[in-house]
């Protein structure tokens, strides 16, 4: 038999300082690595340990070699020393607090064997117990500060494909030895932290690539090695080493502005939390001077790091010269690989605003901004995904996102986690970014978005002081809805609404009526008046309409679809429609709709209406169906009915269901009071009627039943209306302009925007929840039927599950038992 191709030689190099206890856990896993034994060796670089590492490791683990250094030279220098003294083609650097899967090494070797331009390959790093992700690739911001992809995400939910990365985890990385040493290895001035980031940045400039390989699995006892360092020491190393990387790696044109920006922001980080009385430094009007200012140890670490970095700059000149003379990629090319070049590394909106100003003021923003902006669309409701039903708010968010995609933006979506409980087959791209009442800031960070579009002001309650420019889309007033639902009290809702509005930077709405309504709210929230303070982005859909059945003469098919909401009342219009169908002896009504997918609302009035209408042979009720099913039904229909009794909420609505009817080629019988009415009338895309006038409704229905040619013409006009006025490629223009050049709005401090308003709202919400619980309990006891009691309890179980999962159900059940016991004793 011919000999198998010999495996290339690999040396595992493990730096360690006083880490004997960690090595005793790590080395058995390394020795179990499945790789050609003759091609694999293990070398421990003992960084001046005093715990007996140099003598005990060879005795405990025969075959493991140890090089004993006389002092702690740091992780970077120890790795370089190991690479220099071995002769293998590849060197695998491994932290002493890692364990490895038996098959971790071969995929890394294979990745480097695939391409000579790959200088390194890195492992997927999991937590020690394997339950969560520690490292699934990395991103950088313009300061060279690193972000670990997937950090803390459940392993079961983390599906990351192999990809080229700007840097790899230096504690689980295989390098091509000769190339590693030729370009300088790890920078030994770094001692520890960011040596892998600096190496990756430098290698990318010099034309190499690096591959993250998820098939290679390692496990990290997070923080075991770093536990000896204080928070201030760690911050010092991160700050200093990032500045050193910037000095070496930016080209001559970009270095001055990048370094200027980084130094300014380091100063801001240094004084964060310091009790500085800014008025004490004003020349006029005069104020008492501040005697002293004290920094936290972490704040002082930033200043010490700046000082240390500047002191090292002269010694780095030769290294910088080597990189710049051998550069094969421009700064713009390399920065496009950073992933999050404008990501703030310090929390809070104030810091994000300062960074935005620094990047703009230094001109670096023009270098960092690639051809594609990342936008996160936060939907308050279910998105129209495959297999899911749809709601107006979800369809509005989807249309905005697709409109931005049509303009070249990279768009991701976030929808409520509560909605996912009923729909397990939602794509991971959606589930990974699902929001709840606590995690929305983390969702924004995980998305990597540069701009956030919040569809509805209540979302800003969860979003808080976002570190990204925020566009707020007003899809509806939400005060009227809350009042009808009995959600909190009017004063709390008003204060919360103003506080949320004050947190946004740009505002959109769907139509003229909404714009007139929201301008006073913006003024009350402290937004300065301008003619363009709120821009119109109509509800819009794709310029490519769905397919529909050919227009067939004969029996007309009317449709009504949508979630049942307590502030909508189509009773008169639907009753008249069914009466006319029975009188004419032809046609039918297809009803689509039901309870909201996850928000508990009182829909008894609607359900009673449907039962009454279903008594007619001309009516079929289908309940809630998925969006694709709904579109097919619309495509097979003839006319849509969308007439609601007039109320303030309906007057302000730019109804998404109506736009979708028109998009599907359905002429619509519609209200005469809403924004869409004039468009339908102007393009003859339906019939506009007084919703309180049964005679007008009856006349429109008769025309739709008897005049087929008239219906055919209106159907063509319906699609033309959407194509010309309501397609997302044209309607999205004002929001697209903001997303292309996002900016923070200068905010005045007002009572409406204070955190006290949000805190007050939270307290009142807690009281409200208890009140709702009591009212529902009283109502249930009053009805006293087994069916209604079971339905009530099932509704409460779902409500608390969506609010807080199984723990919330258990907690509420315990409270219920205690309540019943105390009531029995009294």
The mean predicted confidence, pLDDT, of the chain is 88
Q: Are 359 and 325 in contact (CB under 8 A)?
A: no
Which of these ranges, 191-200, 259-268, 323-332, 356-365, has the smallest mean pLDDT? 356-365
Decide if 401 contacts 739 (C-beta within 8 A).
no
Q: What would the mean pLDDT of 418-441 be, rounded to a whole number?
A: 84
Q: Pinpoint the alpha helices (H) of 4-97.
A: 20-31, 53-60, 74-85
Q: How far is residue 534's CA from residue 208's CA, in Å, rounded to a whole number?
A: 48
Average confidence (pLDDT) over 664-687: 95
How many angstroms separate the Cα of 251 from the Cα of each of 166, 312, 334, 379? 17, 18, 11, 41
Rounded average pLDDT over 638-657: 92
For residue 526, give the nearest of 502, 550, 505, 548 by alpha carbon: 502
For residue 356, pLDDT over 80 is answered with yes
Could you give the strand order of the β-sheet that contains 668-671, starting from the edge strand earlier in sequence?
A: 619-621, 588-592, 557-561, 639-642, 668-671, 686-689
pLDDT digits (tens, 9 = 90+) for 213-265: 999 999 998 766 666 788 999 999 999 999 999 999 999 999 999 999 999 99
3-state helix/strand/coil string of 362-421: HCHHHHHCCCCCEEEEECCCCCCCCCCCCCHHHHHHHHHHHHHHHCCCEEEEECEHHHHC
Percent of the chain with pLDDT over 90: 65
pLDDT at 478: 87
Give the C-alpha distances (Å, rounded to integers) separating 435 from 157, 361, 416, 431: 15, 34, 5, 9
Name residue 591's beta-bridge partners.
560, 621
Measured torsion, CA atoms of residues 455, 461, 464, 467, in degrees rounded to the nearest 10: 0
Cα-Cα-Cα-Cα dihedral sign, residues 515, 520, 523, 528: positive
377 class by beta-carbon count within 10 Å (0-12 exposed, 13-18 middle, 19+ buried)? buried
And the tokens for 632? Answer: 């097919």
What average pLDDT does the segment 814-819 reach?
Answer: 62
Least confident of 47-56, 423-432, 574-583, 591-600: 423-432
Compute the C-alpha angle 396/722/515, nearest 5°: 50
Most confidently predicted of 145-154, 282-291, 498-507? 498-507
**pLDDT tens across 724-779, in order?**
999 998 899 999 999 999 999 987 544 444 445 555 555 555 555 555 555 555 55
Paired residues of 535 in beta bridges: 508
Q: Which of 251, 451, 212 is nearest to 342 (CA)?
A: 451
Helix (H, G, I), strand (E, B) or coil at 483: helix
Cβ(557)–Cβ(587) below 8 Å: yes
Does residue 273 carry a pLDDT above 80? no
Where does the pLDDT of residue 826 fall: very low under 50, low under 70, confident under 90, or very high at 90 and above? very low
Q: Sort residue 665 into left (φ over 0), alpha (ψ -120 to 50) or beta.
A: left
Q: Answer whether 475's CB lies under 8 Å from 500's CB.
A: no
pLDDT of residue 790: 63
Overall average pLDDT of the 277-289 stretch: 76
Please tell me the predicted confidence (pLDDT) of residue 347: 87
Paired strand residues for 72: none
Q: Is 52 left (phi over 0), alpha (psi -120 to 50) or beta?
A: left
Please, which residues have CB within 8 angstroms of residue 375's CB and are 6 or more apart in sequence? 401, 404, 409, 410, 411, 412, 449, 450, 451, 452, 453, 739
Check pLDDT > 80 for residue 695.
yes
Calculate the dihedral angle through the C-alpha atoms of 516, 520, 526, 531, rounding to the nearest 10 degrees: 40
CA atoms of 538 and 659, how far apart (whole Å): 10
Q: Helices (H), strands (E): how many in the chain?
A: 34, 24
Gap between the Cα atoms of 351 and 643, Å rounded: 49
Strand order in the sheet with 374-378: 410-414, 374-378, 451-455, 470-474, 506-509, 535-536
CB atoms within 10 A of CB 553: 10
Q: Output the CA angle 389-572-667, nearest 5 degrees.
A: 60
**Which range (402-406, 485-489, 647-651, 752-756) has the least confidence?**
752-756
Residue 812 banded pLDDT, cuts 50, 70, 90: low
Residues, the chain:
826
- Name residue 63's beta-bridge partners: none
Cβ count near 583 (within 10 Å): 12
Band the pLDDT of 668: cuts 50, 70, 90: very high
Higher pLDDT, 279 or 385: 385
What is the spatial distance between Cα 439 and Cα 152, in angstroms, rounded to a whole number?
13
- Report H helices in 1-148: 20-31, 53-60, 74-85, 105-114
Contact criterion met (CB below 8 Å) for 561 and 631: no
pLDDT for position 778? 55
Q: Do residues 411 and 447 make contact, with C-beta atoms less than 8 angstroms apart?
A: no
Q: How far is the C-alpha of 502 from the C-alpha of 1, rounded, in Å?
A: 77
Strand (E) or helix (H) holding 725: helix 708-725
3-state SS of 572-638 is: HHHHHHHHHHHHHCCCEEEEECCCCCCCCCCCHHHHHHHHHHHCCCCEEECCCCCHHHHHHHHHCCC
Please name every residue paired with 470 in a beta bridge, in sequence order, or none if there are none: 452
Given a contact cutoff of 8 angstroms between Cβ atoms, the answer to whether 640 and 560 are in contact is yes
Q: Region 588-601: what's the mean pLDDT?
A: 89
- Distance from the first to the final alpha carbon of the chain: 90
How far is the CA of 607 from the CAs of 135, 185, 563, 664, 695, in angstroms? 51, 71, 11, 27, 25
Confidence of residue 366 (pLDDT cuts 50, 70, 90): confident
Distance, in Å, from the CA atom of 228 to the CA atom of 589, rounded to the nearest integer, reads 73
- pLDDT at 200 exceeding the cut of 80: yes
Under 8 Å between Cβ of 43 and 82: yes
133's enclosing H/E stretch is strand 133-135
* pLDDT on residue 440: 92
Strand 138-140 to 146-148 pairing: antiparallel
Strands 506-509 and 535-536: parallel
pLDDT at 479 over 90: no
């Amino acid at each position: 038999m011919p000999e198998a191709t010999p495996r290339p030689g690999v040396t595992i190099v493990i730096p360690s300082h006083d880490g004997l206890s960690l090595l005793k856990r790590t080395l058995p896993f390394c020795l179990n690595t499945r790789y050609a034994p003759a091609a694999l060796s293990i070398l421990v670089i003992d960084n001046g340990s005093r715990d007996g590492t140099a003598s005990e490791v060879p005795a405990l683990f025969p075959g493991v070699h140890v090089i004993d250094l006389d002092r702690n030279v740091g992780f970077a220098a120890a790795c370089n020393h190991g690479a220099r003294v071995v002769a293998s083609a590849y060197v695998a650097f491994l932290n002493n607090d890692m364990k490895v899967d038996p098959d971790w090494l071969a995929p890394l070797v294979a990745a480097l064997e695939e391409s000579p331009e790959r200088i390194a390959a890195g492992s997927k790093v999991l937590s020690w117990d394997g339950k969560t992700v520690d490292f699934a690739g990395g991103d950088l911001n313009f300061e060279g500060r690193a972000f670990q992809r997937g950090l803390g995400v459940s392993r079961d939910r983390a599906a990351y494909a192999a990809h080229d990365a700007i840097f790899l985890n230096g504690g689980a990385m295989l390098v091509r030895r000769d190339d590693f040493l030729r370009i300088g290895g790890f920078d030994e001035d770094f001692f520890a932290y960011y040596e892998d980031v600096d190496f990756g940045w430098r290698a990318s400039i010099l034309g190499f690539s690096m591959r993250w390989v998820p098939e290679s699995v390692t496990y990290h006892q997070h923080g075991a090695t770093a536990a000896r360092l204080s928070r201030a020491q760690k911050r010092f190393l991160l700050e200093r080493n990032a500045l050193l990387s910037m000095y070496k790696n930016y080209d001559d044109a970009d270095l001055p502005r990048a370094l200027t920006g980084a130094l300014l922001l380091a100063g801001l980080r240094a004084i964060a939390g310091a009790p500085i009385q800014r008025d004490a430094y004003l020349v006029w009007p005069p104020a008492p001077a501040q005697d002293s200012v004290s920094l936290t140890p972490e704040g002082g670490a930033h200043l010490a790091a700046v000082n240390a970095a500047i002191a090292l700059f002269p010694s780095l000149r030769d290294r910088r010269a080597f990189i710049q003379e051998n550069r094969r990629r421009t700064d713009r090319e390399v920065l496009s690989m950073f992933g999050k070049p404008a990501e703030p590394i310090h929390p809070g909106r104030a810091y994000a605003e300062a960074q935005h100003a620094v990047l703009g003021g230094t001109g670096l923003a023009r270098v960092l901004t690639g051809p594609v902006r990342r936008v996160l669309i936060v939907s308050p409701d279910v998105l129209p995904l495959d297999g899911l039903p749809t709601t107006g708010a979800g369809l509005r968010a989807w249309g905005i996102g697709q409109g931005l995609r049509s303009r070249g933006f990279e768009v991701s979506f976030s929808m409520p986690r509560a909605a996912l409980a009923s729909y397990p087959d939602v794509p991971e791209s959606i589930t990974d970014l699902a929001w709840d009442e606590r995690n929305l800031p983390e969702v924004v960070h995980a998305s990597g978005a540069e701009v956030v579009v919040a569809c509805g002001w209540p979302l800003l309650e969860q979003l808080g002081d976002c570190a990204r420019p925020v566009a707020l889309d007003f899809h509806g007033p939400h005060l009227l809805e809350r009042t009808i639902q009995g959600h909190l009290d009017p004063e709390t809702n008003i204060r919360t609404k103003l506080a949320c509005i004050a947190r946004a930077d740009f505002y959109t709405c769907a139509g003229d009526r909404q714009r007139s309504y929201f301008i006073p709210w913006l003024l009350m929230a402290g937004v300065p008046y301008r003619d363009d303070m709120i821009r119109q982005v109509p509800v819009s859909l794709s310029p490519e309409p769905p397919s529909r059945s050919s227009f067939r003469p004969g029996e007309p098919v009317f449709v009504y679809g949508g979630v049942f909401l307590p502030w909508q009342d189509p009773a008169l219009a639907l009753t008249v429609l069914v009466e006319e169908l029975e009188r004419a002896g032809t046609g039918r009504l297809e009803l689509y709709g039901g309870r909201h997918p996850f928000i508990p609302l009182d829909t008894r009035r609607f359900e009673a209406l449907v039962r009454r209408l279903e008594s007619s042979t001309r009516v079929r009720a289908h309940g809630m169906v998925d969006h694709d099913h709904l579109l097919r039904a619309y495509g097979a229909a003839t006319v849509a009915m969308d007439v609601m009794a007039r109320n303030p909420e309906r007057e302000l609505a730019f109804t998404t269901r109506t736009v979708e009817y028109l998009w599907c080629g359905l002429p619509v019988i519609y209200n005469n009071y809403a924004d869409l009415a004039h468009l339908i009338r102007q393009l003859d895309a339906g019939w506009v009627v007084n919703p309180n006038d049964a005679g007008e409704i009856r006349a429109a229905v008769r025309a739709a039943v008897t005049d087929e040619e008239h219906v055919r013409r209106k159907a063509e006009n319906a699609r033309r209306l959407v194509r010309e006025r309501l397609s997302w490629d044209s309607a999205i223009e004002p929001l697209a302009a903001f997303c292309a050049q996002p900016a923070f709005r200068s905010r005045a401090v007002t009572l409406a925007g204070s955190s006290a308003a949000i805190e007050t709202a939270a307290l009142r919400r807690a009281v409200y929840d208890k009140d709702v619980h009591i009212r529902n309990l009283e109502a249930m006891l009053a009805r006293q039927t087994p069916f209604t009691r079971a339905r009530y309890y099932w509704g409460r179980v779902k409500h608390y599950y969506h609010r807080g999962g199984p723990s919330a159900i258990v907690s509420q059940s315990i409270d219920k038992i205690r309540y019943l016991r105390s009531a029995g004793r009294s």
